[in-house]
């Protein structure tokens, strides 16, 4: 494992820009659930387990039509959880590394939790490909507006997974608001915010000559992040305790959790710098 960590440190030390790919596993070290498998989901939300509701049953726009207080019970609980969570050490290590590189870092993540922004990354350089729970949109899309969820403080009956406070409303039409998250069977997701970050990424990528990708906790079931990482035309450091296969990409595979792997890479980077002084 030390050899793999040293190889990753060398790739980073010779890069001029850092591309960070992050999946659900990135938040595990912060104590966040990744909903892996139905039992993992039901352990996190036992009320939904008792009702035999699956993740796909609640994570879709129709859930807000059928039972908005239940749907917002689930998403409101997640919103409160993410607001209260402290990003794990991998975030600060990545931020410290990025700050040493000429072109810094750009983040591509399928996570909707806002942890990179909380850890101090430039929000304009965080491309959330599935949207963000910290932003809202109209359920009926009366207009293509997206607004911050900062004024919405959900009160949740956790035992029954139901919203007890007022439902959030669209400021334009007064209709029900939903999270600006790409859900299952979702034809009405307002994607402009994500598309703007994509444009920012493409402009940034043109300036970087020697990028390296550090991908953490990206799964294969919904492979958005893995596919992005493999298509960047850059060396890939894939960190995943369950599936670190590079799938033909050039780089190094590290079968560890994100926090442990990044601490190991940081230690090797310190040694690398010391040897060259």
Domains, the chain: 2-275 (3.40.50.1220)
Between residues 178 and 40, the one the model is more confident about: 178
Between residues 220 and 237, the one the model is more confident about: 237
Residue 276 has pLDDT above 70, yes or no: no
Confidence (pLDDT) at 272: 59
Cβ contact 206:13 at 8 Å: no
SS3 content of the chain, % helix, strand, coil (to 5): 45, 20, 40
Confidence (pLDDT) at 247: 87
Report the mean per-residue pLDDT for the chain.
94
130 is catalytic: yes
Confidence (pLDDT) at 277: 47
Confidence (pLDDT) at 82: 97
Residue from 39, 54, 77, 130 carrying the catalytic annotation: 130
The structure tokens listed for 125 are 């350089």
Mean pLDDT over 220-239 rounds to: 94
Q: Which of 94, 93, 96, 105 is nearest to 16 (CA)?
A: 105
Mean pLDDT over 124-128 rounds to: 98
Least confident of 66-70, 158-162, 242-246: 242-246
Mean pLDDT over 197-203 rounds to: 98
- Please report the beta strands in the chain, taking only residues with DSSP state E, as ranges in sequence order: 17-22, 105-109, 126-128, 131-138, 147-148, 156-157, 162-163, 177-181, 211-216, 235-239, 251-254
Confidence (pLDDT) at 37: 60
Burial (0-12, 13-18, 19+ Cβ within 10 Å), 173: middle
User: For residue 91, what pLDDT band results from cuts at 50, 70 and 90?
Assistant: very high
Cβ contact 29:241 at 8 Å: no
Radius of gyration of the chain (CA): 20
Confidence (pLDDT) at 42: 81
pLDDT in tens, 36-89: 665 678 888 999 999 999 999 999 999 999 999 999 999 999 999 999 999 999
180-208: b (≥16 Cβ within 10 Å) or e: bbbbeeeeebbbebbeebeebbeebbeeb
């Amino acid at each position: 494992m030390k050899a793999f960590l040293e190889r990753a440190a060398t790739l980073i030390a010779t890069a001029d820009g850092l591309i960070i790919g992050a999946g659900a596993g990135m938040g595990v070290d912060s104590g966040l659930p990744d909903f892996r498998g139905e039992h993992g989901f039901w352990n996190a939300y036992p009320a939904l387990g008792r009702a035999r509701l699956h993740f796909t049953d609640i994570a879709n726009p129709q859930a807000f039509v059928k039972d908005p207080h239940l749907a917002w019970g689930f998403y409101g609980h997640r919103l409160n959880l993410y607001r209260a969570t402290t990003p794990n050490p991998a975030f600060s290590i990545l931020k410290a590394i990025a700050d040493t590189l000429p072109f810094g870092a750009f983040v591509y993540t399928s996570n909707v939790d806002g942890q990179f922004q909380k850890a101090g990354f430039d929000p304009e350089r965080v491309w959330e490909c599935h949207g963000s729970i910290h932003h809202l949109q109209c359920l009926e899309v009366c207009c293509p507006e997206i607004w911050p969820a900062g004024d919405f403080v959900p009160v949740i009956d956790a035992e029954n997974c139901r919203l007890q406070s007022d439902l959030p409303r669209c400021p334009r039409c007064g209709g029900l608001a939903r999270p600006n998250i790409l859900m299952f069977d979702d034809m009405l997701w307002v994607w402009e915010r994500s598309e703007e970050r994509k444009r920012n990424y493409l402009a940034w990528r043109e300036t970087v000559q020697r990028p390296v990708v550090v991908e953490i906790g990206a799964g294969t079931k919904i492979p958005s992040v893995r596919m992005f990482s493999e298509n960047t035309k850059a060396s890939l450091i894939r960190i995943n305790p369950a599936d670190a296969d590079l799938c033909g990409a050039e780089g190094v595979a590290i079968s560890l959790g994100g926090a442990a792997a990044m601490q190991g890479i940081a230690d090797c980077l310190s040694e690398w710098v010391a040897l060259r002084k």
